[in-house]
Structure 1
Amino acid sequence: MKIAIGCDHAGLQLKEAIKIELERLGHEASDVGTNTCDSVDYPDYGQMAAQMVSSGKANRGILICGTGIGMSIVANKYSGIRAALCNDVQTAVLSRQHNDSNILVLGARVTAQELALKMLHVWLDTPYEGGRHQRRLQKIKNIEDSVKDG
């Protein structure tokens, strides 16, 4: 699977650990940056990764900033994106089962690396359940379409 991954300066160390794990698992990590600890603006990197997922250039995405809140806001501006800020294994599982999340968002300042890697594994491995959840996702898509159309 091709996975777009991006972060701001606060998420750099966690991004690098996740990239190693993705590659170990056989996934292609498409790194959109940042690649230094210099202060940057998270929307610049969230936008690049979300655009890749929205356009189909990547199957899924992972975004990391200090808390994950900013990256979640940015990513969810894009059509077809269901970015989920997860803080524990259960929310990572449910984000896939119930919401078919296609971007995992993590807060590097509030999530330990070991937990983040556990969440990554379950997020990658958990299938979308469909069924009653599809009706809800369709309602979200309808809202997205109506806002886009003005």
Structure 2
Amino acid sequence: MKIALGSDHGGYELKEYIKEHLENKGIDFVDYGTGSTESVDYPEYGYKVAKAVKDGECDRGIICCGTGIGISISANKVPGIRCALCSDSYSARMSREHNNANVLALGGRVVGKDLAFEIVDTWLKAEFQGGRHERRVNKISDIEKEFTK
């Protein structure tokens, strides 16, 4: 599994912790930036990660900004992306099992690194359950298709 990583300045430190965590677990990743705490615009990095997942360059993505809100909204503008903003491991697991989320958003000013590691590990381990959930995810895709014609 290859993970696309990205953040703005508000999520930079958390992204760096997550990179080290993934490295320690032997999980391959690509860092799409940013490279410092210097102020940047989160939509650029949400887009880069979402595009990498959509284009198949990476299997899933993890993005961070100060709250996780702005960057998740940006990522969700890319067709085919289901980005979930999670602040707890239960939501992370459900986002995969029920919603087939392919991008995880975290708030660098909201969750600490230990909680972030728990959320990331839970999210990476969880698998989509399909069944009745697939019907619902397909309905989300149908809504998206209506507006991308």
TM range (shorter): over 0.9
Superposed CA deviations along residues 10-55 of structure 1, whole A, max 9, x for unmatched, are: 1111101101111222221100110111111001111111110011
Identity fraction in percent: 50
The one-letter code sitting in structure 1 at the alignment partner of 2:63 is L
Map 1:121-136 → 2, pairs under 5 A: 121-136=121-136
Q: TM-score, structure 2 length as denominator? A: 0.98
Q: Give distance in 2, aligned partners of 1:141 and 1:72.
A: 17
Q: Give distance in 2, aligned partners of 1:103 and 1:129.
A: 17
Structure 1: state its 5+ residue gaps.
none
Secondary structure, aligned partner of 1:57: coil
Superposed CA RMSD: 0.7
1:77 corresponds in structure 2 to 77
Superposed CA deviations along residues 52-111 of structure 1, whole A, max 9, x for unmatched, are: 001111100000000000011000011110100001111001001100110010001011
Length, aligned pairs only: 149
Secondary structure, aligned partner of 1:120: helix
Q: Give distance in 1, aligned partners of 2:10 and 2:72.
A: 15
**Where in structure 1 do 4 or more consecutive aligned residues deviate above 2 Å?**
none
Q: Give distance in 1, aligned partners of 2:56 and 2:146.
A: 22
